[in-house]
Amino acid sequence: MHLHILGICGTFMGGIAAIAREAGHRVTGCDANVYPPMSTQLQALGIELIEGFDPKQIELKPDVFVIGNVVSRGNALMEEILDRGLAFTSGPQWLYENVLRGRWVLAVAGTHGKTTTSSMLAWILEHAGLQPGFLIGGIPQNFGISARLGNSKFFVIEADEYDTAFFDKRSKFVHYHPRTAILNNLEYDHADIFPNLEAIETQFHHLVRTIPRNGLIVANGTDANLARVLTRGCWSSTEYFNNKKSWSHESSNTGDCIEIFQGGARCGELRWQVLGEHNAMNAVAAIAAARHAAVPVAQSIEALAKFENVKRRMEVRGEVNGITVYDDFAHHPTAITTTIAGLRKKVGAARILAVLDPRSNTMKRGVWANELAASLADAQLVFCYTLGLGDWNPQAALAPLGDRLFLSDQVDAHVEAIARAAQPGDHVLVMSNGGFGGIHEKLLKRLAGY
């Protein structure tokens, strides 16, 4: 089969391209911005990439056009596909029909922690010798790739609640039909497509409706929004983490040692280098889900002791003159709070310089403006990038931070301000779900005197 993928350079669609190529299909694709690292990764797999959406791509005559959700009506190539009545489908639908159908799908959903928990779960199954396939919205450092077909019935997928395509406004995850599902948490997000929290809860309940009677839901036992979802109807077995009657944990003061409990009975002790209480919860959820796939708890703990986290999740990008620079994907007040808290637990009284790029669609709309200052409160200094924000006023929103705050719409201005303020022993935490203008490399060079 020949697939031509529109929007191929996104993490999800790029993962589908890699899996399809591994499965023996011919894969070509196009996107508005074809650039490294995704472009080089795909080209290394023998996938031909085309810049832009020229209607002449029709002449490739693929068996099916696979449409990413970056494509909308008015796109020149999409309009030509529609005019000619050619075969097209969404990425999630193609994935289910050609890869997931008939496999034991383990899906990880939630507003936060999907990428990390999916990576943990895939690594546990790999360590247990189960050779799972996976498609994850990041690069687990234990694997070095974000997607693979796998050599067993098991497939781990990051189950995103974002919409499927312009012609299918259901969440992506309703296509996956998991047997095992982790529901990490649920908050309002994606303000560009969801009008309110209730709309997201409805999509999560659609996911719950697809899980079979012999399936398992592993849910956060302290999340009231998830509780509401499950009270709307649940037909599968359910286990809970953050629940002393089901799965729970106790962390050491430094967070590098976690005791795991099931039903109040101690299952074992995990010693690792992954920061944050949120990651301890992610680990317990992954252990519970892996147990459903017959991986003993002790074996899961052994695997997670060797877990290397995901790129861009508290990833140390470098240390210069005693100043450590981190890269993290946090872009929501809850994630910002937990990320800073995790770093604080590690570094104690050392100074944290928080550098934020509020570039997500929800952030740009100012939905979380009132919560932003509190999420950054434990940082000694805060640097906020203001380019491309909507009508909300970051100066006013972050005013409670007082003279700890620096605002600019220029990346280079941030680099200079951080470099002037940073002292030996400081920890510079850069948080963004985008490239942030290459700020990490620029800052490390500036700190080194280049």
The fold of 315-447 is: Protein-Tyrosine Phosphatase; Chain A (3.90.190)
- CA angle at 17 for the pair 128 and 109, rounded to the nearest 5°: 55
Q: Give the C-alpha distances (Å, rounded to integers) separating 409 from 380, 384, 414, 436, 450.
A: 21, 8, 8, 11, 23
DSSP class per residue in 337-392: HHHHHHHHHHHTTS-EEEEE---SHHHHTTTTHHHHHHHTTT-SEEEEE-TT--SS
DSSP letter (8 states) at residue 32: S
64 strand-pairing partners = 3
The pLDDT of residue 255: 77
Q: Specify the DSSP class assigned to residue 216.
A: E
Helix (H, G, I), strand (E, B) or coil at 121: helix
Identity of the residue numbered 389: L
Rounded-to-integer distance, Cα 353 and Cα 414, Å: 12
Q: What are phi and psi of 249, to 5 degrees?
A: -155, 165
User: Does residue 189 contact residue 363 with C-beta atoms inside 8 Å?
Assistant: no
Q: Which residues contact 87 (CB under 8 A, 6 or more apart)?
A: 63, 64, 65
**DSSP structure string for 255-293:** SSEEEEEETTEEEEEEE-----HHHHHHHHHHHHHHHHT
> How far is Cα 42 from Cα 24, in angstroms, rounded to an integer?
14
If we measure between CA atoms, which residue out of 66, 440, 123 comes closest to residue 310?
A: 123
SS3 at position 41: helix
* DSSP alpha helix (H) spans, 1-97: 11-22, 38-44, 76-84, 91-95
CA separation for the pair 417, 403 (Å, rounded):
13
User: In the prediction, which pLDDT does 358 show?
Assistant: 85
Work out the mean pLDDT of the chain and round it to a whole number: 93
Predicted TM-score (pTM) of the model is: 0.85
pLDDT for position 91: 97
CATH 2.60.120.920 fits 102-304, yes or no: no
So what's the pLDDT on residue 36?
67
pLDDT attached to residue 71: 97
At 141 the three-state DSSP class reads coil
Contacts of 433 (CB under 8 A, 6+ apart): 329, 331, 357, 359, 360
Which CATH architecture group holds 2-90? 3-Layer(aba) Sandwich (3.40)
Residues 110, 204: Cα–Cα separation, whole Å: 9
What residue spans define the domains of the chain? Answer: 2-90, 102-304, 315-447
| Contacting residues for 262 by C-beta, under 8 A, at least 6 apart | 246, 247, 288, 297
Mean pLDDT by 10 residues, the chain (450 residues): 96 94 96 79 90 97 97 97 98 98 97 93 98 93 92 97 95 98 92 90 97 97 96 97 91 86 94 86 96 97 92 86 91 87 89 91 77 92 88 87 93 94 95 87 90
Alpha carbons 162 and 200: distance in angstroms, whole number: 9
Phi, psi of 309 (to 5 degrees): 65, -170
Residue that has been written with the tokens 């959903």 in this structure = 109
Is the fold of 2-90 the same as that of 102-304?
no
> Bridge-partner residues for 353, per DSSP?
381, 428
Q: Dump pLDDT digits (tens) for 400-450.
A: 999 999 999 999 999 999 999 999 999 999 999 888 888 999 999 999 987
| CA-wise closest residue to 120 among 301, 277, 315, 343 | 301
Is the CB of residue 325 less than 8 Å from the CB of residue 443?
yes
Kindly give the residue spans of alpha helices, DSSP state H, lying in 103-170.
114-127
Position 229 scores a pLDDT of 98
Which letter, b or e, does each residue of 357-391 get, where b requires 16 or more Cβ atoms within 10 Å of its Cβ? bbbbebbbebbbbeebbebbeebebbbbbbeebee
